[in-house]
Structure 1
Amino acid sequence: MMWILGAVIMLLVAWRVDWRALLADKGRQHLCFGAAMALVFLWMLQAGIRDGLEVHFLGLTTLALMLGWRLSQLMALLALLLVTAFGVESWPEFGVNLWLGVILPIAVSYFVFLLTYSYLYRHLFVYIFVAGFFNAALTMAVKSLAMAAYMVWSGQYGWQTVQSDYLSILPLLLFPEALLNGMAITLLVVFRPQWMCTFYDRDYLNNR
Structure 2
Amino acid sequence: MIALQYACLLILLPCLLDAVRRSGIEKMSRDDLFIWIGLTGLIFGILLCTRDLPEGVTLKYSGAAFMALTLGYSRALLSMTLLLLITQPWANAGVVLLVDALLPIWLMIFVVNLSRRYLPANPFIFLLGCSFIGLFTVYAVQQCVGLAVWSVSVDTPILSTLFSERTGLHLLLASGEATLEGMIITILVVYFPQAVLLFDDEFYLSRPM
Deviation for aligned residue 1:162 = 7.1
Measured in 1, the distance between the counterparts of 2:161 and 2:123 equals 42
Deviation for aligned residue 1:61 = 2.5
Measured in 2, the distance between the counterparts of 1:48 and 1:13 equals 32
| RMSD of aligned alpha carbons | 2.3
Deviation for aligned residue 1:197 = 1.8
Aligned residue for 1:166, secondary structure, equals helix
Task: Indicate how the Cα distance of structure 1 residues 52 and 94 shifts in structure 2: closer, same or farther if over 3 A, else same.
Answer: farther
Deviation for aligned residue 1:99 = 0.1
**Paired residue for 1:64, among 68, 73, 79?**
68
Alignment correspondent of 2:153 = 154
Query: Are 2:9 and 1:3 equivalent residues in the alignment?
Result: yes
Per-residue CA deviation, residues 98-153 of structure 1 (Å, 9 max, x unaligned), is: 00000001111110011111110111111111011001101111111101111112
Alignment correspondent of 2:169 = 169
Unaligned runs of at least 5 residues, structure 2: 1-5
Alignment correspondent of 2:144 = 145
Deviation for aligned residue 1:52 = 8.0
Unaligned runs of at least 5 residues, structure 1: 84-88
Task: Indicate how the Cα distance of structure 1 residues 44 and 156 shifts in structure 2: closer, same or farther if over 3 A, else same.
Answer: farther
Deviation for aligned residue 1:26 = 1.9
Amino acid paired to 1:206: S
Q: Which moved further from structure 2: 6-15 or 45-54?
A: 45-54
Deviation for aligned residue 1:19 = 2.8
Amino acid paired to 1:189: V
Could you tell me whether the CA contact under 8 Å between 1:189 and 1:199 is conserved in 2? yes
Aligned residue for 2:46, secondary structure, equals helix
Amino acid paired to 2:188: L
Could you tell me whether the CA contact under 8 Å between 1:54 and 1:166 is conserved in 2? no
Alignment correspondent of 2:188 = 188
Deviation for aligned residue 1:47 = 3.5
For residues 43-54 of structure 1, the aligned pairs below 5 Å read: 43-49=47-53, 54=58
Amino acid paired to 1:201: D
For residues 10-29 of structure 1, the aligned pairs below 5 Å read: 10-22=16-28, 25-29=29-33
Deviation for aligned residue 1:59 = 2.3
Alignment correspondent of 1:93 = 92
- Aligned pairs, number: 201
Give the TM-score of the pair, scaled to structure 1.
Answer: 0.86
Aligned sequence identity (%): 25
Measured in 2, the distance between the counterparts of 1:12 and 1:200 equals 23
Could you tell me whether the CA contact under 8 Å between 1:63 and 1:72 is conserved in 2? yes
Amino acid paired to 1:90: P
Alignment correspondent of 2:79 = 75
Deviation for aligned residue 1:158 = 5.7
Alignment correspondent of 1:86 = none
Measured in 2, the distance between the counterparts of 1:185 and 1:13 equals 23
Alignment correspondent of 1:197 = 197
Amino acid paired to 2:75: L
